[in-house]
Structure 1
Amino acid sequence: MSEIILLGLNHTTAPVELRECLAFTTDDTERAVVQLADNPAVEEVVLFSTCNRIEVLLVAKDPGKAVELSKSFLSEFKQVPVNDFNIATYVHCGDEAVGHVFRVAASLDSMMLGEPQILGQIKEAYRTASEKRTSGVILNRLMHRAFFTAKRIRNETGIGDNAVSISYAAVQLGRKIFGTLENKAVLLLGAGEMAELAVEHLVRHHVGRVFVANRTFERGVTLAAKYKGQAIRFEEVKEHLSQVDIIISSTGATDFVIRRDDIKAVRRRRRNRSLFFIDIAVPRDIDPDINRLENAYVYDIDDLQGVIDENIEDRQREAVKAQRIVDEAVIRFRRWHDSLDVVPTIVALRDKVSGIAAVEVDKRIKSMDHLSAADHDAIRNMVNAMVNKILHDPTQFLKKGSCQGDKSIPLDITRKLFKLDP
């Protein structure tokens, strides 16, 4: 019987330098799956390649041969000696391979537990294999069950509920403070990567105006255009403190950019509205004493990391629930996969009985000249219905028997009883 085999390496087994050497572009993937599928030892193939993993998923009758073939192929295709990556590879067969695919799709095997991007990347890999016709009955079923399982885990656990990045944590805290982020005005001070990501996430949550202040005004203009906002000069920041609700700062300054007295000076103009600071700078940009003011909330990089650490612990607890769903899905898939063994016998049995019935019906119909074409069709439909009902119980017996004990015994008896072998 054909087996499912997975060969791969990922962020836990291989450094980024090695993953870079073996990474596949979209064009690479299209060519690779076709070339692998052309090998007689490979029945089906899907190839995943992301920044954190490269995995070859195969269906083959000889797992050992398929693994060696995959290693040789990776070596030749990417011009990397097998010895350079062999120690970093892992191999899964059967249930282990199925469970691994389900875990990867559900982001249980990701560097960032619960991150949603991996599912889209796997769907894209499967789409490529489908378009190139390198996935067949088994991998088609496996991939669709992986997508279903990942969706079920998202719906039934909290694996993706809590923020595990600085930018997501900023959004989460903002929602706690304001209830909704819609129409809240944002001021970005400086231009650090994490600060920009935080602004991008806030924009996706429909904040209002975005002001950008940078020591280089031209850089501020460029960033403001990116967020459809307004660039202001750094000297104008204090004038805008009364207009904004969220301040994200990452300037690289050696001293506080905004102090407690600056906020006290605009409290009356702000009418005591809440003000949320996200201070991602080291050294810090925002005076922590601002926290002592009413309706002012300052979170520095350590505070945000603390939120993330708590959320990671929550996700790890949810991962235990997710693993139970994966285990259940693996069992269901195994039952389906095992049932494939009985399909040739069921098809042969149906073909033989249906063939006998068709021959006998044709013989009788020829001698019944008084019957119309409609009568002929009615007789054929009646006989086909009888055949289906007669074969229903034997078919169910063979399918259920394939999941229990030695499935070769009922198959062998059926083939001998009905003389299905030539």
Structure 2
Amino acid sequence: MCHIILLGMNHKTAPVAIREQLAAACKQELEPLRMLPHLEYVDELLFLSTCNRVEFLFTCTQVHEAIQQVTALLKAHLGSPVTSHVESYFYVYQNLEAVTHLFRVAASLDSMVVGEPQILGQLKTAYRDATECRTVKVILNRLLHKTFSVAKRVRSETCIGSCAVSISYAAVELARKIFGELDDKKVLLIGAGEMAELAAEHLLAQGVRNMAVANRTLERAVQLAQRFKAETIRFDHIHDVLKEMDIVLTSTGSPEPILKYQDIKSRMRQRRNRPLFFIDIAVPRDVEPRVNEIDNVYLYDIDDLQGVIELNREERKREAERAEHIIAEETLRFQEWLGTLDVVPTIIALREKAETIRRSELQKTLSRFTHLGEKERLALETLTQAIVKKMLHDPILFLKKKGERKSRQFCVDYVQQIFNLSDRMDGLDIDSCTLTHGSTNVKDSTNLLKSIKK
């Protein structure tokens, strides 16, 4: 029997130092996908590494041995002092638990920030690497494609990704709600730290193309501006460019306000009272609170954004519950497909026996009717193929349906006895993990799987 195993660690089970060390070892020294030929008990393998998780998804027939082998391989490359206690950070999921976990990861339900979209792209990259190294076959191919469709369904049927749950994201979402489209708006970022960097990423994602960066350290401002195709503004000139801006987002480490009431009020005349929005995500605040009293000036600070985030967390929690229901439903569907794999060898054996008999009897008939032309011989070939196909239709349909039920093995044994397939089954070297055998082409097996209920 084929088993699906997921072994890994994430932000919930291991500190970042351990995750970094494991990810670095795997990428630089271990190259997990290329080690598959040395993993005797592992059939298929996929490796996922992000800043918040390192996971191995694999199939095997001997669970204990395969887990030990993968774990030992990791420990051998991590070295001291991590080796002695690294297993305490691992979690192991088997079969449907592994499938459910993978679905939850792809749908961003297991992320540090629930609903973030990056993880799906990272998972697709991991799958592309595995396909290039040819470490995924029938089971993981099917599972990964199902995983992507589940994530897409969660995104389309829930609003789990539409509510901001970080300060930077909430700031940009607020700007979008105020202005609608942001592609024609001018934005000034004051400060070039992590918060400003995240805000710049979100602004670009919302279509902003006219952005300027001001920072006390010019070098850092230039770095950020180059990355996001923005221009740089000298820090002592920020008051002068306010007349051109629509949105000002501040996140400096200044101990006192850098934008004061009088400075902004005097510049509103130059703007002819065009609305100006300040989003202050700095602590202490960069913008003097009295600025909000100026006509056509709107100021939102971190407390305003925090209120939005708390509301959104509750909304995401409700959407996450809907997503969990979708995942449970899709896990059951995948379980049904897995159940059909056990009947594949019997179906192959049944078809092979019928084809062997058909060819043998047809050859005997044709040897007695040597006067037949090519057209008549082809007609008999087509006729016998159609008869066999129709005769096998009901037995094969019966096996496919039983492949989804608990009585599967009894029904498989019953069909094998009725058609006397025991000798032919002994000749096959096929299992649901590898789908390879002596007398039937792998391509035929794969095509057969495609024909089984999706």
Q: Report the TM-score range of the alignment, normalised by the length of the smaller protein.
A: over 0.9
Cα distance in 1 for residues equivalent to 2:29 and 2:94:
22
Sort the Cα spacing of 1:20 and 1:203 in 2 relative to 1 into closer, same or farther, 3 A: closer
Cα distance in 2 for residues equivalent to 1:226 and 1:132:
32
Q: CA deviation at 1:83?
A: 3.3
Secondary structure at the aligned position of 2:161 is classed as coil
Partner of residue 329, structure 1: 330
Secondary structure at the aligned position of 1:57 is classed as strand
Secondary structure at the aligned position of 1:238 is classed as coil
- Where does structure 1 lack aligned partners over 5 or more consecutive residues? none
Matched, 1:243 2:244: yes
Partner of residue 209, structure 1: 210
Partner of residue 289, structure 1: 290
CA contact (8 A) 1:72 1:82 kept: no
Q: CA deviation at 1:31?
A: 3.0
Cα distance in 2 for residues equivalent to 1:364 and 1:244:
89
Deviates more, 1:76-85 or 1:107-116: 76-85
Partner of residue 78, structure 1: 78
Give me the CA root mean square deviation: 2.1
The one-letter code of the counterpart of 2:280 is D
CA contact (8 A) 2:5 2:92 kept: yes
Mapping for residues 60-71 of structure 1, pairs under 5 Å: 60-71=60-71
Q: CA deviation at 1:26?
A: 7.5
Secondary structure at the aligned position of 1:239 is classed as coil
Q: CA deviation at 1:190?
A: 2.8
CA displacement 1:182-204 (0-9 Å, x = unmatched): 22112222322212331343234
Q: CA deviation at 1:173?
A: 0.6
Cα distance in 1 for residues equivalent to 2:332 and 2:191:
53
Partner of residue 135, structure 1: 136
Secondary structure at the aligned position of 2:315 is classed as helix
Secondary structure at the aligned position of 1:118 is classed as helix
Partner of residue 106, structure 2: 105
Q: CA deviation at 1:319?
A: 0.8
CA displacement 1:262-306 (0-9 Å, x = unmatched): 332233332332211121222111012222333322122232233
Q: CA deviation at 1:82?
A: 4.5
Partner of residue 417, structure 1: 418
CA displacement 1:1-46 (0-9 Å, x = unmatched): 1111111111101111211221147744883223244332111111
Cα distance in 2 for residues equivalent to 1:47 and 1:359:
48
Secondary structure at the aligned position of 1:211 is classed as strand
Report sequence identity in percent: 49
CA displacement 1:103-156 (0-9 Å, x = unmatched): 111111111111111111111222222222221111111111111111111111
Cα distance in 2 for residues equivalent to 1:25 and 1:273:
55
Partner of residue 374, structure 1: 375
Cα distance in 1 for residues equivalent to 2:329 and 2:29:
31
Cα distance in 2 for residues equivalent to 1:347 and 1:223:
60
CA contact (8 A) 2:182 2:207 kept: yes
Cα distance in 2 for residues equivalent to 1:40 and 1:229:
53
Q: CA deviation at 1:379?
A: 1.6
Q: CA deviation at 1:79?
A: 2.4
Cα distance in 2 for residues equivalent to 1:227 and 1:28:
29
The one-letter code of the counterpart of 2:294 is L
CA displacement 1:38-81 (0-9 Å, x = unmatched): 33211111121211111121211121222222211110132255
Secondary structure at the aligned position of 1:281 is classed as coil
Partner of residue 50, structure 1: 50
Deviates more, 1:68-77 or 1:293-302: 293-302
Secondary structure at the aligned position of 2:422 is classed as coil
Partner of residue 35, structure 1: 35
Cα distance in 2 for residues equivalent to 1:93 and 1:368:
59
Cα distance in 1 for residues equivalent to 2:288 and 2:379:
88
Secondary structure at the aligned position of 2:130 is classed as helix
Cα distance in 2 for residues equivalent to 1:31 and 1:57:
14
The one-letter code of the counterpart of 1:298 is L
Give me the TM-score of the superposition, normalised by structure 1: 0.93
Deviates more, 1:181-190 or 1:104-113: 181-190
Mapping for residues 81-92 of structure 1, pairs under 5 Å: 82-92=83-93
The one-letter code of the counterpart of 1:108 is L
Sort the Cα spacing of 1:122 and 1:25 in 2 relative to 1 into closer, same or farther, 3 A: farther
Partner of residue 398, structure 2: 397
Partner of residue 117, structure 1: 118
Secondary structure at the aligned position of 1:195 is classed as helix
Partner of residue 440, structure 2: none
Partner of residue 21, structure 1: 21
Secondary structure at the aligned position of 1:8 is classed as strand
Partner of residue 97, structure 2: 96
Mapping for residues 170-209 of structure 1, pairs under 5 Å: 170-209=171-210
Sort the Cα spacing of 1:29 and 1:374 in 2 relative to 1 into closer, same or farther, 3 A: farther
CA displacement 1:320-361 (0-9 Å, x = unmatched): 111111111111111111111111001101110121111111
Cα distance in 2 for residues equivalent to 1:334 and 1:320:
21
Cα distance in 2 for residues equivalent to 1:267 and 1:154:
42
Partner of residue 338, structure 1: 339
Cα distance in 2 for residues equivalent to 1:31 and 1:252:
41
Cα distance in 2 for residues equivalent to 1:20 and 1:65:
26
Cα distance in 2 for residues equivalent to 1:133 and 1:329:
26
Cα distance in 1 for residues equivalent to 2:422 and 2:376:
35
CA contact (8 A) 1:37 1:45 kept: no
Sort the Cα spacing of 1:295 and 1:177 in 2 relative to 1 into closer, same or farther, 3 A: farther
Q: CA deviation at 1:180?
A: 1.3
Sort the Cα spacing of 1:166 and 1:344 in 2 relative to 1 into closer, same or farther, 3 A: same
Cα distance in 2 for residues equivalent to 1:45 and 1:238:
57
CA contact (8 A) 2:221 2:232 kept: yes
Partner of residue 275, structure 1: 276
Q: CA deviation at 1:229?
A: 4.0
* Matched pairs, number: 422
Sort the Cα spacing of 1:225 and 1:33 in 2 relative to 1 into closer, same or farther, 3 A: closer
Partner of residue 5, structure 1: 5
CA displacement 1:382-420 (0-9 Å, x = unmatched): 211221111111111111112222322111111111111
The one-letter code of the counterpart of 1:74 is L
- Where does structure 2 lack aligned partners over 5 or more consecutive residues? 424-454
